[in-house]
Amino acid sequence: MSATSFFKRIQGGHVGLLVLAVVALLAIFAPLVAPDNPVRSDLRGRLAEPTLSLTAVGTAPLGRDQLGRDILSRMIYGSRATLLVALCAVVVGGVVGVTIGVVSGFAGGILDRILMRITDIQLAFPLMLLALLMVAAMGANFFNLIVVLALTSWTRYARIVRGEVLQLREREFVLSAVAAGASAWRICVKHILPNIMAPIIVVATLELGRVIVMESALSFLGVGMQPPTPSWGRMLAEGRSYVSRAWWLAAFPGLGIMLVVLSINLIGDWLRDVFDPKK
Amino acid sequence: MFHSRFLKAAAAGVAFSLAAGAALAEDMTFALSANVVTLDPHLTTTVGTDLSVISHIYTPLVIRQPDMKIYPAAAKSWEVTDGLTWTFHLRDDLTFPDGSKLDAAAVKWNIERILNPETKSPVRAWLTTIKEIKVVDPVTVQFVTDKPFASLPDQMSQIFIMSPAWTQSHNPAIEASGTGPYDLVSYVSGDSVTLKAKAGHVDGAPSFDNVGFRVIPEDSSRIAALLAGEVDLIAGIPPFELERINGTEGVSASSVSSIRMVYVKFNNLKPPFAGNTKLKLALNYAIDKEALRDAIWDGQGELSRCQPLNPAYFGYNPDLAPFPYDPEKAKSLLAEAGFAEGLTLEFEVPMGRYLLASEMAQAIAAQWAEIGVNTNIVEMEYGRWLDKYQNAGQMGDLSYIGQSWPTLTADGMLGLLEPGNIYAYYDNEEFGNLIREARSLTDNDQRLALYKKATESFCASPAHLVLFDQPTTYALRDRIKWQARADDIFRAMDISVAK
Amino acid sequence: MLYRYLLTRLGEALLSLWGAMTIVFIAARMLGDPVIMMLPMGASPADIELMRKTLRLDDPLIIQYLQFMWNAVRGDFGMSFQFHRPAMDLVLERLPATILLAVSALIIGIVVGGFLGFVAARWRGTMLAPIATVLALLGQATPVFWLGIILILAFSTSLGWLPSGGTGSLSHLILPSITLATFTAASVMRLLRSSMIEVVSEDFIRTAWSKGLMPRAVYVRHVMRNALLPVVTMVGILAGELLGGAVITETVFAWPGIGRLVMQGIETKDFAVVQAAAAAIAAIYIFVNFAVDLLYMLIDPRIRLSRTGRA
């Protein structure tokens, strides 16, 4: 095909996928790719300006931060923490949310009402406040962060999954499985789950983006990741005081977050279009 | 005993404010880094915000001026007899806006209000040695303590006097009415406080007609407000911003050493620090304090001289010197201490409380790593950190902390390290004995001699990594001049219009 | 019956509120010890104990809980440890500022997001659509506080057009509400776009329209009405997110609202304030969703019918 028709067929989702893949690869192969040690501080070189050159020896292409650490290396290593926390939070939140949604939709009755009540109670809280409160109460470390972020996430899955399951429950193939005496567990796993994967994946993708932004917000408020482990959110929070003197401290992590979340959202939108039967 | 010197200073102060008052009415605005939580003088100990505002409206018995010395305020003079009885002679010309006088009965009522547990006053802890308050006559009040309390006058500088009648019929948390040079115009919680100079005050009109306080917690927003001309004086800005501010037209920035000292406490009550003096010394020799200070605080702040005191404190020992940076000596001391292979320690750092603590701690950790001492930095929210340190007695191996004592005495400050005190985590019995002995004496020269010995004992076996006096950074517009103070108090009365 | 439906929903709302308050009570107690935050460093253990006793913090937890609930029902949320004033007074004092900010951000968000969404759906397939989409997605990807600081740098420090913080005039409201609105605009845009596309592609609509059987006015009204439904639901969720996102915006712009009050309360372990604020926010959120629910029923008669059994 010609060049123009190739470019016409590229969708936002493809671009997003490409960017995300690059970032993921950088994260996985961080020790090989990063030019410098992300936690080594060199006080004499602190707040060095970005040189934007990868070939100059001993300089930092994206500048150095307030402790003289190379920002590019911190970005590369930081992508690990940022992505890992977000991924774990999405998985945990997803598993919990989907389980509750399926149980609620399938079982119905009192169980459904109780679970939905719990969902409502949780939703009565702005996410930010809930997260703040939980982290302040439990202490801020990697594990707790995942728990808290997952807590703010599961309701989205539960609601949508329950809606889907309610519809599926009345479908032919499910009704016949029930009539054939299959156990609830078997029905859920074999018949229902595969059919709700599409919306789950879409929600999960969008949640990934939202959680990344939320982690940086929590770091901004002082309850995110611990030093000296870099995470983009933390770098952004630390760099905010230096914005007028050394803009590169906050600019690059900020751009990084924007780029990754943008890509993730593009992928999410694209997936939603792909899975939509009406198109 | 205190008459002539202080009366002269008081007279000078009055003359200064009269002369300034003769100028045209001017306004000024402060920017505060935290909210003014309450206007009730007995329910707060926060110096930089609440008490700063309060000091414009109310009068204490005595006052601390920018030179950190105590001067008369509501009391003209005071003396102590037999070590336990303090007599304050009051002025007779201070009247509250509601017409009542600031007399001995009012003072007694105020102190009793603080001492009453139902008031829930955090200040109460400072005054529990007062066992009896006597009204001798309308201008003479006596405090009888159950133990010698040499710094009672210093403590009184933070106790502001309210009108008994007014307090009982108003809500002092959000309203204020006092004998100070300013009246409260408005108090918008979380946003601002506005004051107006009192007409016809006995001490004459103050330099500024209207004084405003704006609450701007975010550092960069506070600086932006100063540069935009919205406020006149800001403080608590990161040291690296001073250069940029100085380079801007119409504003200037500087810093002054505050009365707060920062250090990294060792938990000397358990291994590896318990009884291991060589380890404590090794950690002190391993840090290049000047490099740290120049890099992270942009050269602001003074090095502490081998003691948890600085020149502003009574009992400071000027003959001690800071530990030099000597990594070789540090390594050999470490080996002698039994850790030739190195060791790993937990390093707790409270968040958002001390100036650039996070950066400092990480830089210190990096320097210690060079001699083989590895640290796991745990940053924790201030309340949680405080709980661990103070309540649970479970401070980690290392803890980054900044401390000061409001009465600027060695007794208070060194007392924080007295073995047996929950704040101490220190195992130096000799040190403890010296402090206790000094506390029981009343002769200042004897006490100074004992504090000299105590600080030397400290230096020989330090309780913590001795670091710096935390600098108070500030910036102001060229139209005003400020006698910068080390104790975090911001008063329009210390500020004058630049000619 | 409509009556019964409303009553049930009200009951459920109250139950949610109770649940939320219980969770906050527990979480607040887990925050730590407020007494050591109140007293100066150097206070003796005896002083600490005395204060704790006076504040009745050494009562068994269940007693404190019952006391809290009993008082809360009558509007008394206790005294703030920091401010020494009734906690609910403080909350009500600060609430209008946050509501002003949130409503401004919501309006801006709906207008801008609605416009972008309409553009992206109407001119789907041309260059306009992806541009609008990317703009909106950028808005969702930008961390709120970063945007806020950049805006202050640009419009306040460099250009001097707008104040850097605080409150008092309309110009103080502009930057904070724009910052807060970005995320809202993005969400509204995406939702409106996808729901418009969905409605337009409904079979009977396409058939009727392409056969010229439907007057333009009816077509437009039908499309907008059905596309707006999910947006209306979203407003409920958005309200909650705005109230929460306000925390960060208020910190950056020194806006004296409830978000900052709660942050301070959490820092100083001021149980009363945290509980009162959470109750107020939860109540607002539940009320807004309740109203949205009613609105939903008004807009779509099918839903009204299915829920209440009558039109």
- Rounded CA-CA distance C271/C33 in Å is 10
Q: On the CB side of C92, how many CA atoms lie within 13 Å of its CA? A: 8
Cβ within 8 Å, pair B122-C165: no
- Would you list the DSSP string of A51-87? ---SSSTT--TT-B-TTS-BHHHHHHHHHHHHHHHHH
**Residue C311: per-residue pLDDT:** 43
Taking the Cβ of residue A139 and every Cβ of chain B, the question of whether any pair is shorter than 8 Å is answered with yes
Inform me whether the pLDDT recorded for B1 exceeds 50. no
Inform me whether the pLDDT recorded for B346 exceeds 50. yes
> Which positions 334-393 of B are in contact with C (Cβ < 8 Å)?
381-384, 386-387, 390-391
Tell me the average pLDDT across C26-40.
Answer: 84
Inform me whether the pLDDT recorded for A181 exceeds 50. yes
The position carrying tokens 């829930």 is: B120
CA dihedral C7, C9, C15, C16 (to 10 degrees): -160
- Rounded CA-CA distance C170/B201 in Å is 38
**Residue A10: per-residue pLDDT:** 65
Nearest chain A residue to B362, by CA: A228
Choose among C143, C194, C237: nearest Cβ to A254: C143
Taking the Cβ of residue B376 and every Cβ of chain A, the question of whether any pair is shorter than 8 Å is answered with no
Cβ within 8 Å, pair C160-B381: no
**C281 vs chain A: nearest CA distance in angstroms?**
7
Q: What angle do CA B207, B208, B212 make, to 5 degrees?
A: 145
Burial class (CB in 10 A: 0-12, 13-18, 19+), C25: buried
Contact residues on chain B for A245, CB-CB shorter than 8 A: 240-241, 244
- Rounded CA-CA distance C102/C184 in Å is 10
**Residue A136: per-residue pLDDT:** 74
Best mutation site among A47, A133, A144, A226 for testing chain B: the one with the most B CBs within 10 Å? A226
Cβ within 8 Å, pair C245-A128: yes
Q: What angle do CA B429, B434, B439 make, to 5 degrees?
A: 125
Taking the Cβ of residue C52 and every Cβ of chain B, the question of whether any pair is shorter than 8 Å is answered with no
Short-list B158, B212, B160, B216, CA closest to B35: B216
Q: C301-308 and C2-30 are packed helices; what angle lies between their axes, rounded to 10 degrees?
A: 90
**Residue B268: per-residue pLDDT:** 93
pLDDT digits (tens, 9 = 90+) for A139-158: 777 888 888 889 888 888 88
Other CB atoms within 10 A of residue C247 CB:
25
Taking the Cβ of residue C261 and every Cβ of chain B, the question of whether any pair is shorter than 8 Å is answered with yes
Nearest chain B residue to A140, by CA: B380
In DSSP terms, which residues pair with B256 in a beta bridge?
B472
Taking the Cβ of residue A129 and every Cβ of chain C, the question of whether any pair is shorter than 8 Å is answered with yes
Tell me the average pLDDT across B92-110.
Answer: 93
Q: Given pLDDT bands bounded at 50, 70 and 90, which one contains residue C211?
A: confident
Tell me the average pLDDT across C88-113.
Answer: 90
pLDDT digits (tens, 9 = 90+) for C42-87: 788 888 889 888 888 888 889 989 989 999 888 888 889 888 899 9
Contact B235, C165 (CB under 8 A): no
Q: Is the ipTM of this complex over 0.85?
A: no
The position carrying tokens 């040690």 is: A37
Contact A94, A157 (CB under 8 A): yes
Contact residues on chain C for A213, CB-CB shorter than 8 A: 140-141, 143
Of the candidate ranges A24-33, B406-415, C165-174, the one whose mean pLDDT is the lowest: C165-174
Q: What is the DSSP letter of B47?
A: I
Q: Name the most confidently modeled range: A75-89, A184-198, B104-118, B339-353.
A: B104-118
**Residue B481: per-residue pLDDT:** 92
Q: Given pLDDT bands bounded at 50, 70 and 90, which one contains residue B77?
A: very high
**Residue A175: per-residue pLDDT:** 78
Contact residues on chain C for B120, CB-CB shorter than 8 A: 51, 54-55, 84
Choose among B244, B377, B381: nearest Cβ to A245: B244
Short-list A252, A257, A262, A251, CA closest to A216: A257
Other CB atoms within 10 A of residue C3 CB:
8
Residue B126 in 3-state DSSP?
helix
Inform me whether the pLDDT recorded for B101 exceeds 80. yes
Q: Given pLDDT bands bounded at 50, 70 and 90, which one contains residue A3?
A: low
Of the candidate ranges A18-22, A239-243, B14-18, B231-235, the one whose mean pLDDT is the lowest: B14-18
Q: Given pLDDT bands bounded at 50, 70 and 90, which one contains residue C16?
A: confident
Choose among A120, A244, A250: nearest Cβ to C16: A120
Contact residues on chain B for A241, CB-CB shorter than 8 A: 219-220, 238
> Which positions 78-117 of C are in contact with B (Cβ < 8 Å)?
82-85, 90, 93-94
> Which positions 238-277 of B are in contact with C (Cβ < 8 Å)?
none
Burial class (CB in 10 A: 0-12, 13-18, 19+), C308: middle
**C182 vs chain B: nearest CA distance in angstroms?**
21
- Rounded CA-CA distance B62/B70 in Å is 7
Choose among B218, B221, B386: nearest Cβ to C36: B386
**B206 vs chain A: nearest CA distance in angstroms?**
36
Q: What phi, psi does B190 have (nearest 5°)?
A: 90, -10
Structure tokens at C116: 């972008």
Peptide bond into C301 cis (omega under 30): no
**C49 vs chain A: nearest CA distance in angstroms?**
22
pLDDT digits (tens, 9 = 90+) for A101-142: 888 888 778 888 888 888 877 777 777 777 777 777 777 778
- Rounded CA-CA distance B330/B364 in Å is 14
Percent of chain B topping pLDDT 90: 66
Inform me whether the pLDDT recorded for B477 exceeds 90. yes
pLDDT digits (tens, 9 = 90+) for B433-475: 999 999 888 788 999 999 999 999 999 999 999 999 999 999 9
- Rounded CA-CA distance A70/A81 in Å is 17
Tell me the average pLDDT across B146-173.
Answer: 91
CA dihedral B289, B290, B294, B300 (to 10 degrees): 90
For C299, the enclosing helix (H) or strand (E) is helix C271-299
**B184 vs chain A: nearest CA distance in angstroms?**
33
- For chain A, the maximum distance between any two Cα atoms, rounded to a whole number of angstroms, is 76
Choose among A40, A41, A243: nearest Cβ to B220: A243
- Rounded CA-CA distance A101/A150 in Å is 15
Taking the Cβ of residue B45 and every Cβ of chain C, the question of whether any pair is shorter than 8 Å is answered with yes
**C173 vs chain B: nearest CA distance in angstroms?**
14
Choose among C42, C83, C156: nearest Cβ to B416: C42
**Residue B182: per-residue pLDDT:** 94
Chains contacting chain A through 3 or more C-beta pairs under 8 A: B, C
Taking the Cβ of residue B230 and every Cβ of chain C, the question of whether any pair is shorter than 8 Å is answered with yes
- Would you list the DSSP string of C195-252? HHHHHHT-HHHHHHHHTT-S-HHHHHHHHHHHHHHHHHHHHHHHHHHHHHHHHHHHHH
Inform me whether the pLDDT recorded for C114 exceeds 80. yes
Q: Given pLDDT bands bounded at 50, 70 and 90, which one contains residue C196?
A: confident
Inform me whether the pLDDT recorded for C202 exceeds 80. no
pLDDT digits (tens, 9 = 90+) for B250-259: 999 999 999 9
Inform me whether the pLDDT recorded for B39 exceeds 80. yes
Q: What is the DSSP letter of C142?
A: S
Kindly report the length of chain B. Answer: 499
**C42 vs chain B: nearest CA distance in angstroms?**
7
- Rounded CA-CA distance C154/A130 in Å is 32
Q: Given pLDDT bands bounded at 50, 70 and 90, which one contains residue B6?
A: very low
Q: Given pLDDT bands bounded at 50, 70 and 90, which one contains residue C307?
A: low
**B221 vs chain C: nearest CA distance in angstroms?**
6
Question: What is the number of CB-based contacts under 8 A between chain A and chain C?
Answer: 140
